[in-house]
Amino acid sequence: MRRVAAPLAAALAALLIGACGDGGAEPGASKEATLVLDFQPNAVHAGIYAALGRGYYSDRGIDLTVREPSASTDSPKLLAAGRAQFAILDIHDVGLARESGADVVGIASIVGRPLAALIARDRNAVRAPADLDGGTVGVTGLPSDDAVLDSVLEAGGADPDAVDRVTIGFESVTALSSSRLDAATAFWNAEGVTLRRLGVPTREFRVDDYGAPRYPELVLATSAETLERDPELAQSMVAATERGLEVAARSPGAALAELLRAVPTLERGEQRAQLAALEGAGAFDAAGPLKRSVLRRWAAWDLEHGILSRPLEVGSAFATP
């Protein structure tokens, strides 16, 4: 794997800590770029759609196309093949992509804290993780799910081997609302919101409250080749995205309006509730610049819990100040 060139890392660092300037393309010029999302559009992407709808990308000389992936494994492959210049990746996928030999580089945070949680179906029966001893817990089958479950149970004084794990894929809402499980790993900003709207009396144990460091769940990523070939494009992309994230943090209603304008098939009430959950947790407040000390703690946690199989060289995997 190639290390990001020092001059580029310095340029990105200067941008991320607030350096300003015209940047981007020359007046009248425009560079086409594609951004692949991590999942179908939803409230977590409100900052991106705010930047898109308000012209922040075009102001920076970027003609941006936003695409929804057909599968969660699409984005690293599209970056590696040069079919997309940018992607939103779960931070664990950045590490896994690096382990597989992909020159994927994280350049900014989209949300500044973990979104993963262990969600119990009955808040009265389960008041602490230890109350799940002997219970049945659903996981998707991804390694990160087992890491979240182990971390929450261990930090909550429970034995991870004392629960019955059932692989349910991405059906946590159905499984918990139908009382098939005592708990399941899921995202508190998405499935957690949906369950509450369905009237399920859940209790959430967010992983950064139970053993995990407060790491950025989603990051804006690109390829090392794009960084080396066109650092100005990367800088402009980060700057425009950060402006959109500021809108999501300070004027969530405006960001939601841009999201719904771009994707009118989304259900307004659900997206408003998801955005309120993110806003209440300060998820966008800590978005933007990546901090090497935070990333090192995250990488150590991933290694400890078996998501990564070897230590990650954070300086190569992320552009940080």
How many percent of the chain have pLDDT more than 70?
Answer: 91
Averaged over 268-274, what is the pLDDT?
A: 97
Instruction: Answer whether residue 177 shows pLDDT above 60.
Output: yes
Q: What share of the chain is helix, strand, coil (3-state, %, to 5)?
A: 45, 15, 35
CATH number at 166 reads: 3.40.190.10
- Based on the domain organization, do 13 and 44 belong to the same domain? yes
Averaged over 281-289, what is the pLDDT?
A: 89
- Partners of 241 in beta bridges: none
- Based on the domain organization, do 141 and 203 belong to the same domain? yes
Look up the pTM and report it.
Answer: 0.89
How many percent of the chain have pLDDT more than 90?
Answer: 83
Choose one of 165, 182, 209: the last residue of a domain.
Answer: 209
Sheet strands side by side (includes 183-187):
164-167, 136-139, 183-187, 116-120, 203-206
Q: How far apart are CA 220 and CA 114, in angstroms?
A: 15
Averaged over 75-81, what is the pLDDT?
A: 86
How many structural domains compose the chain? 2
Q: Classify residue 1: in a domain, yes or no.
A: no
Q: pLDDT tens-digit profile of 137-165?
A: 999 999 999 999 999 999 999 999 999 99
Per-residue pLDDT at 144? 94
**Can you say whether the dihedral through the CA atoms of 50, 53, 55, 60 is positive or negative?**
positive
Q: pLDDT tens-digit profile of 18-27?
A: 434 444 445 5
- Based on the domain organization, do 23 and 134 belong to the same domain? no
Q: Which range marks the domain in which residue 145 is found? A: 116-209
- Based on the domain organization, do 42 and 92 belong to the same domain? yes
